[in-house]
Structure 1
Amino acid sequence: MLYLMRNKIKSVVMWFIIGAFLATIFYAWGVGSARRGSGKRGEKNWVAHVAGEKISAVEYERALQRMQDRFQDLPAELVKKLNLKERTLEGLIRQRLLQQEAQRMGIEIPNEELARSIETLPYFQENGTFSKRAYRTALSQYFKMTPTIFENRQRAALQVQKLEDLIGDTVKVSEKEIHQAYVRQNEKVVIEYALLRADDHRPKGRIRKAAAQAYYEKHQEDFRTKEEINVLYAYLTPQDFFREVTLPEGAAKRYYKENKEDYVQPEKIRVRHILIRVPRNADGEALQKAREKIEGILKQVKAGQDFTELARKYSQDSSASRGGDLGYFAKGQMVKAFEKAAFALQPGETSGIVQSKFGFHIIKMEDHKAAIAKSFEEVRPRIEAKLKFIEALHHARKKAMHLYAEIRKGKDFRGAIEEAGYSLRETGYFSRADNRIAGIPTDLARAFNEEAFAAGDNGVGRVRGDQGFLLLQVLKRRPPRIPALKEVRAKVNAAVAVEMGRENVRKAAVEMVKALKGKHPFVEAAKQAKAVETKTTAPFTRTESPVSPDFTKAAFALTADHPADRIETKQGEYVLFLRKKIPADESAYAGAKEEIKKSLREEKKKNLLAAWVNQIRKGTTVKVNQDLLDRI
């Protein structure tokens, strides 16, 4: 049977050579509870059908959560580019295809083999031995599934692993491939290079009218304006009404009595802590490893070792460099589990192991400050200022609403505002995309923009803010248009100068490359090309980038017959000259051979598996429930 399966795999490989991709393997028995928020699913509670077999929304959500946890420390912009939703779905579809193929090929997992695989998992063991109690506890608390469901999923995962191993057995790596890879990894080059800046090659004089006209005609759409409006507005603030405000006798005192809790310096503590992080939805093995590590640290704490030094050495929190010091904090500033344990301590006392959503902590109380109530006289100026502001804001709102109502009834906008004694200003023209508008507070600019564009020609509007009220009237509206050349001449001239600078620097780089190939001295050629920077690199390999990946790629393409080349950059051009090529050290080949062979074999295996899965998918009906996916 094994012979037949291997030959079948080889025949598929021979006939189908497909572009390889790197796929993440999703084992169906992954842990973690499903996230909420996918909306009403109704009867269609599946995200995909693979040959009639469902991939449930719950399974998808678990896998997506694990994927997001894996990349949670990366910048948000980079995570967005990774397109985790699509990767997650494709990974699950791929895994389901492999499971189905393993079953179709008759790959079986005997009960004994399944049991052995489960018994060897560390999170089901106690003192190095499988424990039924630990097994049921882990499934219930961490995996959130019954033994039957877990065992079925574990069996499916083992089937896929066997299939992958069978495919891997067909992969061969030749001695020539290993040596070529070693050479590519270890040969080095030394490059002399020059930076030619486009800015230094811009025309010095005025841009000719003909050049500006030609550029303008070719790029007119680049200068098209958006719809713009000019708005007349008045800003009524509490400051305009402070003189009208008189606080009733005893108002501040009454406010103090009714809001005493606002004038209490809360109880605060200062603690140090040691944190061993545990990722969200970590599996049992990760939890166990983290717990074992924190238990070992706790033993050192109890043995009298310095807590500050232990925090510096072991803590996985940003406070580690400060010896775990979190400074003073009040209740409500930390996660509840941590806060409860910390506030229960006495100065100098150390906690046991505390688990929070971040992982496992050991906490040491450094200092405690009791809550202190401030006297009325201490806070009286603040209270009076606050009450006056509130009353003045009320006056401003009342006045703004009165004026707005009068204007809506037909009273002239400008006349009404000036008659009331408030100043008027114009914003100047702005578009819908503008989040900064002259004279408008930053926090109100977006609301002002939307209200103004919604008002229509000569329309009026109002915007309420925490610090005042805006009344507005649209004065003029300019539709999108391509302005005449004379209106944008400065912008056109600048664009022409940039374009000419890039063209001139490209020509200079080409000429410098020719000169270097003609054996002209590098320094002389660089000076002729107006290079602003010349350097010589230290020896580097293909995996190193002294300037950029493109620089490294171009550097290793250079040869004795083709010793110079150029690459374009945002600044201008780099010109590279091959100063020296250093062959790989053959004496180290024998020691590196096995590791390279292993790496090449894994890469080939992944490519082969990807090609095989792609071919299987071509003959399989796969349906995707896009409506549900969009709601998750």
Structure 2
Amino acid sequence: MFDLIRNHRRWMQFVLLLLILPSFVFVGIQGYSSFMEGDKSLAKVAGEAVTQQEFDAASRNRLDQLRGMMGAQFDSQAFDTPAMRQAVLDEIINTRLISAEATKNHFSASDDQLRATIQAIPAVQEDGKFSNARYRDALAAQGMTPVMFEAQLRRDLALQQVLGPVAQSTMMPDAVMDRLVAAATERRSIQTLRVAAADYRAKVSVSDDEVKAYYEANRARFEVPERVDAQYVVLDQGASTSGIAVSEDDIKSYYEQNKGRYGQEEQRRASHILITVDSGASESAREEARKKAQSLADQAKAPKADFARLARENSQDPGSAAKGGDLDWFGRGMMVKPFEDAAFALKDGEVSGVVATDYGFHVIKLTGIRPAVVKPLAEVRAQIVEEIKQQQAARRFAEAAEQFTNLVYEQSDTLEPAAQKFGLKIQEAQGVTRSGLQGNDVLGNPKVAQALFSDEVLREKRNSGVIELGPNRLAAVRVVKHVPASVQPLADVSSGIRAQLTQDKALDLARAAGEERLKALQAKDSSQGFGAVVTVARNAPQGVAPALLNAVMKAPAGKLPAFVGTIAGDDYVIARISKVEAAPKPDAAAIAGEKSMMERRWAQAEQLAVLQTLREKYKVTISPEGTALTTAAPAAER
């Protein structure tokens, strides 16, 4: 039974990241512009508004996660797209829908489910076992208490009951899988003939009027976005750690106060025999099970009794019965409380009486004790010194942050006093847009870019408020120069427009010539001008352009040779299909891997269908502001 608790949690694995990236977090520090403009309703779910503030906070969270993953390669402008904004809004709406459905159906997570999920989190394990000390330390590092975290986790487990069963029940029929494998692996032998647009450029002329007309019709493409030159200073905890001395008395006192963290709690090993009882069983059935457990307890306590044999022959816990009832080592908090209390009250080798839990009746034999072990001070001294320094630095940083904030606010026309006070360098950057500055970890931060373009900073040339970049890292910025958005003059872009129009016209001529050649080939076969034969498949394109490969694999193969043509890159390409054959069937392992992947995709599709049904059920509406937000062009194109 307890082995089942440990192992039965596949569908819950998503929660293992909760200590690092807590899910469904939409309430952040209020953006400056949101504060100035008020909360706009972007959508409504069951009559409740999704505000601009929620959207901004969720967008910042997503960008911060991407920045953390991509580092210096991160470009916020690349993610300022209608698709990304739509994804963020959909995420907020979907979370609201799932929460509403879970609440309506009274979904909840049991204590055992919560306990099993927490114990499976790698970050709180030591040597593969749950560590209560690590658990509390990990939560403290995230600014959370066990009560806070467990309430959030219990809620997320309840929410998973809305979509979890959909994913668990998804199964790909073998017949469908066979057809998909056949389609993906079917091989076609082709030759290609390329009608190059470059061969027609000499025949193309582009007039000045055409260049001007294109410029006027596409002015947005030539717009240079609004930008500023900025100054900024950064205060981090590193400025607070220098010069910290730790006394020997402080080290000893800290060690005594935190001994529990520098060792291993007492652990016990036990075997058990379980006689299960359904929660809805009658009183007579429960009494019969209890009597059976009592009989086994009496046998197990007899001299020279073979407890392992009794467990193998009688225990109804499928996870441990075959192992003679062995449950391996465990500490406090890893078993249900009645079982734990009984196990920790036994002496080594002693057999308990009948112990009742929600799962039935147990007979427990204690098979080992590992006493609590505390590491000596000498072994953890360096760790303690570093922890004390970090604590003192955090206190210093809190004091410095308050002074930094006051200086930036009180002398709002310059960053110089704050920089001098803390020995900081005033840094400068040019060309910062509303999407931030690519490659700059400060000015690339969406919160910083938002502050730079607020009225107080942009128009009145005042310092921004202090902005939290991350834990123990603050920044303040100011605008030195503002350059409004403008459209590049025609003279500066005319050569590029002329080249583009020339290419477009040349490609049109190549397409016309290619389509004429294709008709002739479809009427009368010829391999003249075609390249060498190449065998392609959907899962083996051999470098063939996707557009051409798609046309080749979709072409009717009843009569060969067959011909298809399409634009591929800057040319028109004709393919001559001379042979179609089924590939050898992949081995069972490869098919199993593909089937698993397809089942995951199918599950995602079914979950999306459920969410769409919930949208109708809870009457989701998107406001004009929400539509405008998710369809606006990227800042770089505006």
For the superposition of Structure 1 and Structure 2, which TM-score range results when normalised by the shorter chain?
A: 0.3 to 0.5
TM-score of the pair, normalised by structure 2: 0.44
